[in-house]
Amino acid sequence: MTDDEFIKLLGKSISKLRKEKGMSQLDLCSEIGMEKTNLSAIENGRKNISSTTLRRIADGLKCEIGELFEFYYKKK
């Protein structure tokens, strides 16, 4: 898996979990203090994120950080 593929799959995972929790992008952005354009870029795999941003997203989704990476472990 390339870095670009990983970033895209991570974004899809964030989007999927957000939707499963019934949150819009605006809901999550409001919860974590992020601009919607940034979250959109993350979810669409156009932006790599720092570990602290990843933690903020997990906190906003009220999930464990590891849940965001389930796509990775399922492929192995």
Find out whether 56 and 2 touch, Cβ atoms under 8 Å. no
Question: What is the mean predicted confidence (pLDDT) over 16-22?
Answer: 96
User: What confidence score (pLDDT) does residue 75 get?
Assistant: 62
Cα separations (Å) of 46 from 17, 22, 49, 62, 63? 18, 23, 10, 24, 23
| Tokens coding 11 | 């974004």
Question: What is the mean predicted confidence (pLDDT) over 20-38?
Answer: 96
Name the pTM for this structure.
Answer: 0.91
Instruction: Report DSSP state, residue 27.
Output: H
User: What confidence score (pLDDT) does residue 11 get?
Assistant: 96
Asked whether residue 72 carries a pLDDT value surpassing 90, the answer given is: no
